Structure 1
């Protein structure tokens, strides 16, 4: 009797098991106990579903879902963003993924290089041909949703209009033509690959609809032999809040672009009370693997600033997701030596010299100050500590020989005070470059 009475319960349990990767992840979060790693919960649910572990379930289900998506209109593109919210108690964090469909594969209408110049995509990297990932963290879940929607709209804009972002200095010269355009704001420049003609997207706020301003803008357009269009479209910079306008020397290209934008509904919208988030929300440490990356079988790259490294003789003193970690020599320079170096650098920074040499010196002045603050905490700092690299009373080194002597003195302090390591080598290399520039300029 006990066996029969327990049978319906087991059948019901099996019927509630997830059938998708997303369902697997949701169940793993639900069954997870305090202190348990998310990866362990994923493996438990995968074994409940009959797989060896989460990795096997992920591979199998991705293949199955890929075949189901074959019936979807277009090609899937995945957009990911990470967030950390320090205003919540306790602090919260997560990873958001938005999947959209477009008529063509992403790299058919924008290259990896072009994407880094595209409005709303500047902070993303192409992790796979079907996957764009935000490099740094954003400040909240709502902000992550907003940035992902804007990124999706930019992809739709390029695919639908056929335009590409301006990337070269030659292409960007067109922006100079718009310098006198009244009340222009948030301008981005786009190129038609077929003709080489440009289209500017101007997105000011609602005040631009005031009649006197509209008349001034129209007059300026006519005086400069350009054409202006105001498509019924949400825009890219601040969708549905800014007012998008298109400007181009080509009236035909303007008509074509306007028609393409007005013919399509937005591919994604920012969540609201009426519109729930249509993407996926996961823990911050989730590492989404797209179907293309999964099929290739190659390991995904970690975001900068999210992995630990090692450098002999050096220590990491600053880490931030999306940016290279900062390193300094492991042993500190004495505060007296910092003051000697700081005094020399302050004099050099007000001395006449080639800009490239000045830039090297200025950069290392800031870096050495960062090292110093990392090396000495509040209670260990000498008097006038804050004025070591900035705030003194420097005097110019007018002669090149004086500047070269100062650089040699800095070099000697660095060699004697810091242990051999890559950060020290980088500093000495740039001091040598600055020295060579000043020597070359003096001859």
Structure 2
């Protein structure tokens, strides 16, 4: 099987659609997936042309009507989705890279922006590596899981293209979720905004228990009380396709009706391999660095995923790496275990003392980070008595006054400066200690 990097070159990433009934049939036969009904493939092609389904396309074209104007020059645009995986449960351990190509009526950037993608159901873990390529940032834990994640990402792109909905990204847009907080049996919900009207729709995807009559009535009564509208489209959904039960809720009945009609009977753009259904993507080695046509055409080198390259930081050493996440660094020389215990005792007292939340958050963050540094600095055989209670599990006492807290932070700062050599991790720690001190000093005197 070819690797992602050996996908065939394309003169263009667009493909022209058929214009006749015969052409629709020919194309449906070509794209029909194993185990898929030919009628479903016919409907897919008809919708690509702008019709509701194949029956409508037959009726319109048989009467001599030309293709809808928007479909007359419509092309299919390639979008590539890729994901890396490592399976630690196999012997020997296995790894790879999966790439799935799907075709959409419009370019990727017109369906979802880089910023929006991070908020969309199933796209949260992806980044836009190129105008035609979405790459999963972290690793999946198996090949099957990588396939599943890629298919779900493809279904989300199809959902946005068909409905015109975009994920809610701003705090103002997401305020609608407050209204829906106590919606009975709400589960796996995602909030979407109509790009034309700005109106919102919530996609609620609970499991089958919501089909019980008592729950149906309870949810319907809640919807009526809140002056909202609800539909249950015959559609696979996004969270757990064909397993969770998708419902749409919105204050706009017209928008809800339009979106529901667009989703009803929508054939999935991709499917997860199972039984006789083979994987329709390309499987390659873990170190494959897929270059999409748009990336190649740009002449710009592709970016490496976070956590997959090596770096250098003066006076610091890397102590943790994980694909998809920034490298973690600590000072290269350790703090003595006695000093760790002194710092830990101070931080434990500070974390139970009354102070502004922003200051508490900084202290809590560094309490956890310093514990990570300590575990990296000392191996099991070198750990002294009380090692595991250094930062958590002691018997702290409250520092009741601002003066007490400032003094404690000053003592922590002095230990850090004396015990760790100058480096970026130490500078980051000292900076946050200064910020926490300033926040505490700024509160009203006690």
Distance 1:224 1:436 in 2: 45
The structural deviation recorded for 1:264 is 3.2
Please list every run of at least 4 consecutive aligned residues from structure 1 whose deviation after the TM superposition is greater than 4 angstroms.
none
Partner of 2:60: none
Distance 1:206 1:182 in 2: 14
Distance 1:384 1:333 in 2: 16
Partner of 2:235: 233
Partner SS, residue 84 of structure 1: strand
Distance 1:389 1:71, change over 3 A: same
Q: Which ranges of structure 1 fall in alignment gaps of 5 or more residues?
A: 1-21, 27-53
Distance 1:207 1:408 in 2: 56
Q: 2:441 aligns with which of 432, 439, 442?
A: 439
Distance 2:265 2:188 in 1: 24
Distance 1:373 1:247, change over 3 A: same
The structural deviation recorded for 1:352 is 1.2
- CA RMSD of superposed structures (Å): 1.6
**Partner deviation per Cα, 1:377-409 (whole Å, 9 max, x = no partner):** 000010010011111111111121111111111
The structural deviation recorded for 1:230 is 1.0
Distance 1:344 1:178 in 2: 42
Distance 1:122 1:236 in 2: 13
Distance 1:67 1:428, change over 3 A: closer
Partner of 2:156: 154
Number of residue equivalences: 388
Distance 1:230 1:133 in 2: 32
Of structures 1 and 2, the one with the larger relative CO (CA 8 A, separation 6+) is 2
Partner of 1:66: 11
Partner of 2:284: 282
Partner SS, residue 228 of structure 1: strand
The structural deviation recorded for 1:180 is 2.6
The structural deviation recorded for 1:275 is 0.9
* 1:11-26 correspondence to structure 2 within 5 Å: 23=2, 25=3
Structure having the larger proportion of residues in helix: 1
**Partner deviation per Cα, 1:356-392 (whole Å, 9 max, x = no partner):** 1111111111100000000000000100100111111
Distance 1:332 1:103, change over 3 A: same
Distance 1:180 1:442, change over 3 A: closer
* 1:18-97 correspondence to structure 2 within 5 Å: 23=2, 25=3, 62=9, 65-67=10-12, 70-71=15-16, 73-97=75-99
Partner of 2:23: none
Partner of 1:378: 380
* 1:137-216 correspondence to structure 2 within 5 Å: 137-216=139-218
Distance 1:430 1:67, change over 3 A: closer
Partner of 2:28: none
Q: 2:100 aligns with which of 95, 98, 101?
A: 98
Partner of 2:405: 403
Partner of 2:296: 294
Partner SS, residue 196 of structure 1: coil
The structural deviation recorded for 1:66 is 3.2
Partner of 1:305: 307
User: Could you state the TM-score of these two structures normalised by the residue count of structure 2?
Assistant: 0.84
The structural deviation recorded for 1:169 is 1.3
Distance 2:409 2:215 in 1: 56
The structural deviation recorded for 1:213 is 1.5
User: Could you state the TM-score of these two structures normalised by the residue count of structure 1?
Assistant: 0.85
The structural deviation recorded for 1:327 is 0.3
Partner SS, residue 437 of structure 1: helix
**Partner deviation per Cα, 1:28-60 (whole Å, 9 max, x = no partner):** xxxxxxxxxxxxxxxxxxxxxxxxxx9xx88xx
The structural deviation recorded for 1:442 is 4.5
Distance 1:368 1:130 in 2: 42
